[in-house]
Amino acid sequence: MGWGGKRKGAGRKSKAKKPAVATDLKNMLPLDYLLSVMRDETADPDRRMKAAKCAAQYCHKKGDRSQKDGKQRAAEKAGAGKFAAGAPPLRLIKNLDD
C-alpha cells in the first residue's frame, strides 16, 4: 500500500516565469523607458498605447489656454465700474468690552 509520499500532479502549480528585466533600466529615465515601449513593435498594442498616453504629458504641453485667459480678463473688465462689488457693511454694534 503506497500511502503518502510524492504523487504526480499534486501540490501547488508553479507560476509562469517573468521575463528578465534588462539591467540598463536602472540608468534609464522614465520618459526614455516609456518611449522605448511605445516604439517597440513586438510589444502588446494596449501596452504601447498606455505608454504613449503617459509619455505624451511629458512631450507635449496642454492645449492653448489663451481663449480661457481672454474670457477671464473680459469678466474682470465687466465686473469693474458700476458693476463692481461694493464695500462690506460697517459694523453697527461695537463690542461692549471697550
C-alpha to C-alpha distance for 87 and 89, rounded to whole angstroms: 6
The domain ranges of the chain are: 23-60
The angle subtended at Cα 91 by Cα 88 and Cα 94, nearest 5°, is 160
User: Region 16-30: what's the mean pLDDT?
Assistant: 69
**What 8-state DSSP symbol labels residue 21?**
P
> Do 5 and 19 contact (CB within 8 A), yes or no?
no
Neighbours of 55 (CB within 10 A): 19
**What 8-state DSSP symbol labels residue 65?**
-
Q: What is the pLDDT of residues 37-87, one digit of tens each?
A: 999 999 899 999 999 999 988 887 666 566 777 788 888 888 888 777 777
Residues comprising the chain, all counted: 98
Q: What is the pLDDT of residues 29-47, one digit of tens each?
A: 888 889 999 999 998 999 9
